[in-house]
Homo-oligomer: A and B are copies of this chain.
């Protein structure tokens, strides 16, 4: 049987602690070349949305975790627009599929016999693995005694960022800022309940990050949200998107660690098409001055090749610069095993997704 899982089922099944633990083991395998992951690919062509200029994007990434016996491909089929929201240029995926839905899929395979074990949406898995990855950044880089968090952002990613942070450190207080006051209030109320930790809504980014041990940047901004003048000794800064952190910040850090910094996506763009962020030259890439190439990777830190922090005074930063397919093999694998145990999911005949003729 091949399982079809829903985001609701995955939400009920997946626990952040398990995802962090499993990913931690597999990053060690990745570091020694036992697990593999291939760089993301993005293909872009012009499209229309409601008569306006948009882009159709097909994105894919994959990875193999022999330790678990899983491989996975993660696929995204997106209609993308670039509106300006609250003064910032943003990249927005439109839920253009029937019933106003997005399209992100994970196909999970067995490395033992190749069979397709499960098909599931990527939304919940995606934020769990981003959260777990930044959580590992915190585990290996933040002060052991870190107790306070300032979070910038209150969207889809912000929740799992907090969940992961609270899993790896004993957090006692969280301050939250995001530009929309209703959003940040709702988010804070919801997360206080989930985390059982005191949370405060504040009125500026500076207020949120002031005096805290850990700063979590969890926005979808493609412009900087954390700046140099806010830096204090001993802080750990965690980011889910490269442009969030001003480069002057990175130059002051004693250690900047990237998730998977060496590689750029394999990008194929229809001739003449230039996505608006590149066209406007407003992206972080236009004026890079920090040497990202010299940063160690998360897998090297987890394997012990480099140390995240040498003293409580050091300033550290983890940038989740780019996702990898291996994260989906690992996280979807955890969800699949738990779904099997719990008898959850729609069961379809595996023969529907295999064949008796040579591929």
Contact = CB atoms under 8 A, between A and B. Distances in A.
A173 interface: no
A104 B38 contact: no
A359 B124 contact: no
Interface string A18-62: 000000000000001111111101011111100000001010101
A270 interface: yes
Stoichiometry, copies per complex: 2
Interface stretch (A94-102, A276-284, A290-298): A94-102
Interface stretch (A76-84, A182-190, A250-258, A306-314): A76-84
A64 B36 contact: no
Interface in A102-150: 102-105, 107, 109-116, 119, 121-124, 126
Given A101-B351, A103-B116, A124 B357 contact: yes
Interface string A322-351: 000000000000000000000000100011
A211 interface: no
Contacts of A354: 97-99, 101-103, 121
Nearest to A124: B357
B93 A358 contact: yes
Contact of A114 (B77, B115, B358): B77
Contacts of A355: 7, 101-104, 121-123
Contacts of A222: none
Contacts of A113: 79, 96-98
Nearest to A107: B75
A71 B62 contact: no
A63 interface: yes
Contacts of A6: 352
A62 B41 CA distance: 9
A112 to B, nearest CB: 7
A271 interface: yes
B268 A38 contact: yes
B121 A34 contact: no
A287 interface: no
B66 A62 contact: no
A272 interface: yes
A245 interface: no
A230 interface: no
A4 interface: yes
Given A78-B114, A78-B359, A115-B98, A38 B353 contact: no
Contact of A73 (B44, B75, B96, B155): B75
Contacts of A156: 357-358
A266 interface: yes
Contacts of A229: none
Given A32-B271, A111-B56, A156-B357, A266 B39 contact: yes
5 contacts: A7-B356, A36-B43, A37-B43, A37-B268, A43-B62
Given A33-B272, A60-B62, A77-B110, 13 more contacts: A32-B271, A34-B45, A34-B270, A96-B112, A98-B351, A101-B356, A102-B356, A102-B359, A103-B116, A107-B107, A121-B355, A121-B357, A123-B358
The 10 closest A-B pairs by CB, nearest first: A33-B271, A104-B359, A123-B357, A101-B354, A121-B355, A97-B115, A77-B109, A96-B113, A77-B114, A103-B114
